[in-house]
Amino acid sequence: MLIMGINAYHGDASAALLVDGQLVAAAEEERFNRVKHSAGFPHKAIEYCLEAAGARIEDLDHIAIGRNPRAHFADKILYSLKKRPSVAFITDRFRNMLAIRDPKAELAARLGFDPARIRAQSHNVEHHRAHMASAFFASPFDEAAVVSVDGFGDFVSTMWGRGSGTKLEIMRRVGFPHSLGLFYSGLTQYLGFPKFGDEYKVMGLSAWGEPDLADEIRRVVIVRDGAFELGLDYFQHHTKGIAMTWEGEPRYDTINSENLVDLLGSSRQPGAPMEDRFKAVAASVQAIFEEAYFTILGTAQRLTPSPRLALAGGCAHNSVAAGKIRPKALFDEVFIQPAAGDAGISLGAALYVYHQKLGHPRRFRQLHSYWGPSFPQSQIEELLRAQGVRYEVMVDSELVPRVAMKIRDGNVVGWFQGRMEWGPRALGNRSIVCDPRRADMKGILNSKIKRRESFRPFAPSVLEEDVADWFEEDDAVPFMMQVFQIRPEKRALIPAVTHVDGSGRLQTVCRRTNPRYHRLIGAFRELTGVPMVLNTSFNENEPVVCAPEEALDCFLRTRMDVLVMGETMMARAAED
């Protein structure tokens, strides 16, 4: 049985393909069309998934799309009648309710053939049910509390449930206009980061300030009754709506009202200096976000007295908060879907149909995130010859120690291997790796390639077996979704990956799931005594590279020192 899951008409369009309940391929559309957070219909990602499975569109049995605009229909009508929002808002709501696009027709139009060729049955899966399915059904848990915390999807922002076997039971929800994700997005805009997906910048900035404005921020989001409400006077989405492009790069309209400026002072303009008061705002936003976040998780614990938690939704990407779940003794075990944001909707929709609707037993457990395209060595060498690039080909036993020495010697290395990662994090297959021991490495990376804000940290990839020696928490974090405190006595040894507050957003690297990356870090450990490398995504202000052509282009147009693709290694000429 083949089930294609789709996230479309929303940020981070994506596709995922299940074959008899097992995930065989998943990818975001942005990796193919090179438009960051692409929000249209993911036809290129769908084509890739079919190709990876050796299947045709006619072979699909089910198509699951992670949106259902008719969900909560009565709530939408009542809100429009009671709150009297603008005509534009009401028109937009009703257009969304009535315009459920047929994914079969859309796919046929995009690929240029008769929709009659597609025999698959179509399913619309409510946004947050898809989020929750992506977390629970991909987790190792037979039963768990399940939570989705997001911006908005199908008129809901937060959903609690219980997962047991092949079923999800929905227990509580927070609906429009209240949203913890939208609160964070609105304050992200206030701090001068207007793009969709910039929230992680505020999370990094928060460590540089003190939460001196926490009392003011508590007026913006109010924690009560085991959940939260927004101080709606500080927002305008509930009266004017939020226009978001469906094609190309998604963008929000302004979320905040002028009252937020009256409360906090003038907002920061993009590119303006980062004053101390903005750092205080960021720290206060993160602090109050965590108050609401842990209230939500406490409610989950009461609703479902389970020691296990499966977590998804865009707010699950707040790795600072996620790293505190176990230390707060809320849950003993936590699984956070690596594509926890809207990209994961495609996987969740497919899993929901396979288990919840069709009743099939669970067969898939997500141990790694390598579900994207791979490219044969012959294709890599053909590209390099065509471009006239000088390179060496080495067996693994020679290549890995050579690359480890390059890293030890201060080189910036592009590391392109195997199948591309699924989700926003580079996890050792589409990564740039460097020496974490060098205090100047952040500056070197930013000057040579990244050109990003100086307050943003870089992450360590650490051997799974060495975590306890370097971090205060000892847990597997294979998807780089949690921040832990680095042991105080170790911080000076790895300054390039130690944030200003002593933390690191680590990725634990397992020999079983990524043997070559594990060998590379092991070789670096043999040379230096440090069982980790600095790991950042292989890109330059663009989506993470997917194909060898994009990796080579990034290497040539930046000042990256070394590029390793498969068994080939090339180094920049000394005169460069």
pLDDT in tens, 219-247: 999 999 999 999 999 999 888 766 555 45
Length of the chain: 576
C-alpha 209, offset from chain centre? 25
pLDDT at 575: 46
Verify that 332 and 346 share a domain, yes or no. Answer: no
The answer to whether the beta carbons of residues 21 and 362 sit under 8 Å apart is: yes
Quick one: what percent of the chain has pLDDT higher than 90?
82
pLDDT, average across residues 321-339: 95
pLDDT at 132: 98
Verify that 479 and 393 share a domain, yes or no. Answer: yes
pLDDT at 410: 96
Task: State which of 336, 367, 394 marks the end of a domain.
Answer: 336
pLDDT, average across residues 200-215: 97
Q: Is the model's pLDDT at 574 over the cut of 80?
A: no
The answer to whether the beta carbons of residues 156 and 72 sit under 8 Å apart is: yes
Q: Is the model's pLDDT at 438 over the cut of 90?
A: yes
pTM for this predicted structure: 0.95
Verify that 429 and 352 share a domain, yes or no. Answer: no
149 falls within a domain: no
pLDDT at 83: 61
pLDDT at 87: 52
pLDDT at 100: 53
The answer to whether the beta carbons of residues 433 and 385 sit under 8 Å apart is: no
pLDDT at 18: 98
Instruction: Quote the number of domains for the chain.
Output: 3
- CATH code at position 562: 3.90.870.20
| Helix and strand totals (H; E) in the chain | 20, 21
pLDDT at 250: 60
501 falls within a domain: yes
Verify that 285 and 352 share a domain, yes or no. Answer: no
- CATH code at position 345: 3.30.420.40
| Cα–Cα distance for residue pair 2/564, rounded to 1 Å | 35
Q: Is the model's pLDDT at 79 over the cut of 80?
A: no
Q: Is the model's pLDDT at 80 over the cut of 80?
A: no
171 confidence band (pLDDT: 50, 70, 90): very high
pLDDT at 341: 95
218 falls within a domain: yes
21-45 pLDDT, tens digit each: 999 999 999 999 999 998 889 999 9
84-143 pLDDT, tens digit each: 665 555 555 555 544 456 777 888 887 777 888 889 999 999 999 999 999 999 999 999
370 falls within a domain: no
Take residue 184 and report the two structure tokens written for it: 């964070």
pLDDT, average across residues 301-316: 96
Q: In this predicted structure, which of 65-79, 110-124, 531-545 has the lowest mean pLDDT?
A: 65-79
Q: In this predicted structure, which of 76-85, 242-251, 475-484, 523-532 has the lowest mean pLDDT?
A: 242-251
Verify that 435 and 304 share a domain, yes or no. Answer: no
Verify that 331 and 347 share a domain, yes or no. Answer: no
Verify that 299 and 313 share a domain, yes or no. Answer: yes
pLDDT at 122: 93
Q: Is the model's pLDDT at 569 over the cut of 50?
A: yes
* SS3 state at 79: helix
Q: Is 284 exposed, middle or buried (0-12, 13-18, 19+ CB in 10 A)?
A: buried
359-415 pLDDT, tens digit each: 999 999 999 999 999 999 999 999 999 999 999 999 999 999 999 999 999 999 999
565 falls within a domain: yes
75 compared with 192, residue with greater pLDDT: 192
Verify that 345 and 321 share a domain, yes or no. Answer: no
Range of the domain at 250: 180-336
Q: Which of 318, 329, 327, 306 is nearest to 144 (CA)?
A: 306
Task: State which of 307, 327, 357 marks the end of a domain.
Answer: 357
Q: Is the model's pLDDT at 435 over the cut of 60?
A: yes
Q: Average pLDDT of the chain?
A: 92
The answer to whether the beta carbons of residues 444 and 437 sit under 8 Å apart is: no
Long-range contacts, stretch 482-489, CB < 8 angstroms, 24+ apart: 482/319, 482/322, 482/323, 482/325, 482/334, 482/336, 482/506, 483/319, 483/320, 483/322, 483/323, 484/323
- Other CB atoms within a 10 A radius of the CB of residue 181 amount to 22
The answer to whether the beta carbons of residues 445 and 418 sit under 8 Å apart is: no
| Cα–Cα distance for residue pair 214/211, rounded to 1 Å | 5
DSSP state, residue 491 = G
Q: Is 361 exposed, middle or buried (0-12, 13-18, 19+ CB in 10 A)?
A: exposed
Longest dimension (CA), the chain: 70
pLDDT, average across residues 455-469: 96
pLDDT at 246: 47
Q: Phi/psi at 130 (nearest 5 deg)?
A: -65, -45
| Cα–Cα distance for residue pair 325/308, rounded to 1 Å | 11
Verify that 189 and 329 share a domain, yes or no. Answer: yes
pLDDT at 248: 54
Quick one: what percent of the chain has pLDDT higher than 70?
93
246 compared with 521, residue with greater pLDDT: 521
